[in-house]
Structure 1
């Protein structure tokens, strides 16, 4: 077995929003490196497709993280299924673009709840387990929007700026426990999230080749996870070469 294919052998990972897009790319990358993966998603049909494709390599959990009780049950349910967690990838998120004055209060609340509150709660809930085990990896899906005040997505960008700060502070609090905390900040990725972009922006991105394939995200996540224990990749900004055109 090659080094790449065995680099996560024996590890147990959990990925939220893992049945599609970036989450599924993360799942595939870790499976390919030998990990067992718990795939969390609210889309039961998508989870069924993941089970059909990967069989016993995955455990699937249908959970709506926007539901407070379901969210609080996440880590206990994972541990009940697989016993421990070596890698936790907080990936689930929503997108909201367009002018701020056109955003409904309900849409703002829903997006901020999933992109910020749920991520913080999930990470908080997995930390005691990793602290007790004296190690682990926590990854959070952020965005290029966390590093640039994108004018067509004020609410989404703000949620990712908040998460960027959260990741850096939690990393500083927990490195002494052998826990690495990092984020991946991709530019536009060819997933369902960009379907909500303004039509002119989406067409421009497609026509200019300014979208990343999700597999590139999975490969980058695998790179982050396979660094030596004394090396933390705190954030990777990954963007299409043509994005600045």
Structure 2
């Protein structure tokens, strides 16, 4: 099998678990070196032990503005270049708005929206100078449907969907492709805050995606011909609409 990302360097935020881990390992399988960005140092070290030199661990607290601003310099210090950036880190607030903790709302909006915008802002000059690059943002099916049990989370993804589609139109002239992946519910720790009845219903109905399935779509987006733009991939379990 031809490994299609040999010679490429990717950086993935929230890389130690869930979708970020699955996409990191999928890109490693395709020959890329991956700068795995996360707060969990021990998990990153274990992944470096597992994958060897293909993993370049970078411990960053993205919610700390000063630390967040070091992301690109540390990627370039570790790998010398950046071809692919997957803005994946995020968190979740679900349930009734009236019951939500406002501190949790601030944290989620900061990570899901502000951090993504700042990270993309910071990597763009490097990609523009090189005349090439891929940026993929983990969005959600909630970006396309006003999900009544998660108004705060859905609003963050609606915002980031607009961001992805507007930035995409600004930078394609520089050879940079920007797109998002919008999965339905994925069996990761992010669902721990789902209402218990909704999570139980989803599992019983087999209407959850696996992180590896999302990663396979990300790999497709990265390995398609350079002249093809995929703005957004909405994916959901077949049983989700039943």
TM-score (norm 2): 0.99
**How much has 1:55 moved relative to structure 2?**
1.4
- SS of the equivalent of 1:39 reads strand
Select between 6-15 and 48-57 the one with higher mean Cα deviation.
Answer: 48-57
- SS of the equivalent of 2:85 reads strand
User: What are structure 2's unaligned runs of at least 5 residues?
Assistant: none
Match status 1:58 vs 2:55: yes
**How much has 1:104 moved relative to structure 2?**
1.4
- SS of the equivalent of 2:221 reads helix
Counterpart of 2:110 in structure 1 is 113
Counterpart of 1:196 in structure 2 is 193
Counterpart of 1:148 in structure 2 is 145
- SS of the equivalent of 1:38 reads strand
For residue 225 of structure 1, the aligned residue among 217, 222, 225 is: 222
Deviation string 1:130-170 (CA, Å, 9 cap, x unpaired) is 00000100000000000000000000000000000000000
Residues in 2 aligned to 1:84 and 1:52: alpha-carbon distance in whole angstroms: 23
Residues in 1 aligned to 2:42 and 2:192: alpha-carbon distance in whole angstroms: 20
Counterpart of 1:29 in structure 2 is 26
Structure 1's consecutive aligned runs of 4 or more residues displaced over 6 angstroms after TM superposition are: none
User: What are structure 1's unaligned runs of at least 5 residues?
Assistant: none
Output the aligned Cα RMSD. 0.7
For residue 16 of structure 1, the aligned residue among 13, 16, 22 is: 13
Residues in 2 aligned to 1:97 and 1:45: alpha-carbon distance in whole angstroms: 29
Match status 1:244 vs 2:241: yes
- SS of the equivalent of 1:210 reads coil
Residues in 2 aligned to 1:124 and 1:162: alpha-carbon distance in whole angstroms: 16
**How much has 1:195 moved relative to structure 2?**
1.2
Residues in 2 aligned to 1:49 and 1:233: alpha-carbon distance in whole angstroms: 33
Counterpart of 1:101 in structure 2 is 98
For residue 173 of structure 2, the aligned residue among 172, 176, 179 is: 176
**How much has 1:43 moved relative to structure 2?**
1.2
**How much has 1:193 moved relative to structure 2?**
0.4
**How much has 1:49 moved relative to structure 2?**
2.2
- SS of the equivalent of 2:226 reads coil
Residues in 2 aligned to 1:46 and 1:200: alpha-carbon distance in whole angstroms: 31
Match status 1:160 vs 2:157: yes
- SS of the equivalent of 2:212 reads helix
Residues in 2 aligned to 1:210 and 1:43: alpha-carbon distance in whole angstroms: 29
- SS of the equivalent of 1:183 reads strand
**How much has 1:60 moved relative to structure 2?**
0.3
